[in-house]
Amino acid sequence: MNAVMARPVAVTSPQDVRRLLRAGDEIALLDLREEGPFAAAHPLFAVNLPLGRIEERIGFLVPRRDAPIVLYDDGEGRVACALPVFAALGYSNVSVLEGGLAGWRASGGEIFIDVNVPSKAFGELVEHVRHTPSLPAAELQARIARGDDLVILDARRFSEYHVMSIPGGRSVPGGELALRVRDIAPSPETVVVVNCAGRTRSIIGTQSLVNAGIPNPVFALRNGTIGWTLAGLELDHGAARTGGEPTGTNVARAREAAAALAERTGVRAIGQGTLAVLQSDPARTVYRLDVRSPEEYAASHLEGFRSAPGGQLVQATDEWIGVRHGTIVLTDDDGVRARMTGHWLRQLGWREVYVLDDWAGLLRATGPEPVVPAASLSEVEGVSVAGLVAERAGGGPLVIDLAASPAFRKGHLPGAVFAIRPDLAGHPRLADARDVVLTSPDGVAARLAAPELARAGLRVRVLDGGTTAWREAGQPLETGLDEARALSRPDDVYKRPYEGTDNAAAAMQAYLDWEFGLVAQLERDGTHGFSVLE
């Protein structure tokens, strides 16, 4: 990670980046910093790709090796380290943003904070244009207390819902709402309330049901669980209520509504022949995404399609798609979820969005989405769980864990130290290290980093199977993160003010205030290309 640029580097001006965005041309604007600094300041369509995670993530974020890529940092030197990595991986159309983040700011480019900002800004624009109906927390609480006929549908991922939820709510992730709501609320008199933690998924989920034409009164819970908490109301914890399976009649109704929305917004249904044509176009970056639930994906999915549950894909498009104006092909097995997702992506400015319905004869796979690094993993010396346990009985090697900081806090080998990969080579605290064992959740990040430490003259091994193998072998884990012992600052993951249960009221209110200002920022930025269905 400390490689030096060896040849002249192409430079792209901030003005040219904005021109490409407005023109609808493909461009990947990649921020090489950790997520914490990225969340503090970045352009609207920048995609966060930390330097130490390039090989793990670039293959799915930018699958076409000659797609136009523009790299930047904020003067930390990460671009210089990244350029040889991209070259080694075969990326041939890479340039550097002139002046980095400071150059963007100096050129008059708008600066955004937080993460998944295009989707969040779009949600605010949807509410602004469509006047999406909403209820404040106090009114919803009053309706619950009266015993009104209502259902509360939590549009977040089940894992988020399980941590904290509105009392009586059930988990129906956003991409599932239009498919399942008619069975959850069969009476048109039943009020449907959609919530998330903040605003975006509440707004988009509610507007999805309005767009789909369900007869029920539908409202977003204004400001989600944040608004509920700020109103002094108690949340549930550990809830596990879900939406249940839809009936055939209601699936047909949902499919008809979704098809009409897809047609109105320009989402095209394609067959296998057209998919092959799209994939063979050398000037086109194609993303193939399965918008069903992760459980359905694991049971059976089309080979080559990634798991991207529809609600999350709309909420966090930049976590799956690195090239703005790339081509998106969505699939499901019901004719509803891909079209509902697609009608939002079109409004989000993606110019070519397709739905693949016909799975006949296509190769299938099972299991969760595999991790496929863009680089081949080097042969490195490994150590088994049993072997490391025996070595540590007498002191043993220094164990460095390259997990993301939240995963490290949740559980790591006793005595292991946290580190971010680019900080390892040349770290002064490793100068006297004679024996190092690297680990990461599945061992992939550890194997990618090991050759860099070996070149620095250290004996370095990798824990076979990573921390997962250690846990599955019944070995103990330690929780927390001792920053005094860590080799890096844990700024690799931004602490969202809307996740978890330990957020300060001031931080939650500040987050809401920021969201309210996003529409004005969009107008100043001028590159978004959003078009809200009216």
Is the pLDDT at 6 greater than 60? The verdict is: no
Residue type at position 194: V
Three-class SS of residue 233?
coil
Which amino acid type is present at position 354? Y
What residue has token string 């846990």?
471
Over residues 108-118, the mean pLDDT reads 97
CATH 3.90.870.40 fits 121-240, yes or no: no
pLDDT band at 1 (very low <50, low <70, confident <90, very high): low
In angstroms, the CA 199 to CA 533 distance is: 19
Pick the CATH number of 11-114 from 3.40.50.300, 3.90.1640.30, 3.40.250.10, 3.50.50.60: 3.40.250.10
How confident is residue 3, by pLDDT bands cut at 50, 70 and 90? very low
On the question of a common fold for 121-240 and 382-472, the answer reads: yes
| pLDDT recorded at residue 528 | 97
Write out pLDDT tens, residues 305-355: 999 999 999 999 999 999 999 999 999 999 999 999 999 999 999 999 999
What integer pLDDT is reported at residue 256 of this predicted model? 98
**pLDDT tops 60 at residue 2:** no
Cβ distance 345 to 328 under 8 Å?
yes
- In this structure, the number of other CB atoms found within 10 A of the CB of residue 102 comes to 13
pLDDT at 396: 87
Supply the pLDDT for residue 432.
Answer: 83
Q: pLDDT tens, 251-287? A: 999 999 999 999 999 999 999 999 999 999 999 999 9
Mean pLDDT throughout 407-426?
A: 96
Residue 409 CA, chain-centre distance (Å), reads 20
Q: DSSP of 415-480, one letter per residue?
A: T-EE--GGGTTT-GGGTT-SEEEEE-SSSHHHHHHHHHHHHTT-EEEEETTHHHHHHHTT---B-S
How far, in Å, CA of 374 to CA of 377, rounded?
9
- Whether 4 shows a pLDDT value over 50: the answer reads no
Handedness of CA 239, 244, 250, 252 (dihedral sign): positive
State the fold for domain 382-472: Oxidized Rhodanese; domain 1 (3.40.250)
Which of 6, 50, 15, 7 minimizes the C-alpha distance to 30? 50
Domain residue ranges of the chain, discontinuous segments joined by +: 11-114, 121-240, 255-362, 382-472
- How much is the pLDDT for 425? 87
Measured CA to CA, the distance from residue 407 to residue 412 in angstroms comes to 8
496 pLDDT band (50/70/90 cuts)?
confident
Give the pLDDT confidence of 365-386 residue by residue, as tens digits.
Answer: 999 998 889 988 888 999 999 9
Tens of pLDDT along 25-79? 999 999 999 999 999 999 999 999 999 999 999 999 999 999 999 999 999 999 9
Q: What are the tens digits of pLDDT across the range 30-45?
A: 999 999 999 999 999 9
For 474-523, the three-class secondary structure string (H helix, E strand, C coil) is CCCCECCCCCCCCCCCCCCCCCCCCCCCCCCHHHHHHHHHHHHCHHHHHH
The per-residue pLDDT for 503 is 78
Q: What's the average model confidence in pLDDT over 433-449?
A: 95
Q: Report the C-alpha gap between 70 and 73 in whole angstroms.
A: 11
pLDDT in tens, 198-251: 999 999 999 999 999 999 999 999 999 999 999 999 999 999 999 999 999 999
| pLDDT of 433 higher than 90 | no
Do the Cβ atoms of 401 and 428 come closer than 8 Å? no
Could you tell me where the beta strands, DSSP code E, fall in 320-383?
A: 327-331, 353-356, 364-365, 382-383
Q: What is the architecture of the domain spanning 255-362?
A: 3-Layer(aba) Sandwich (3.40)
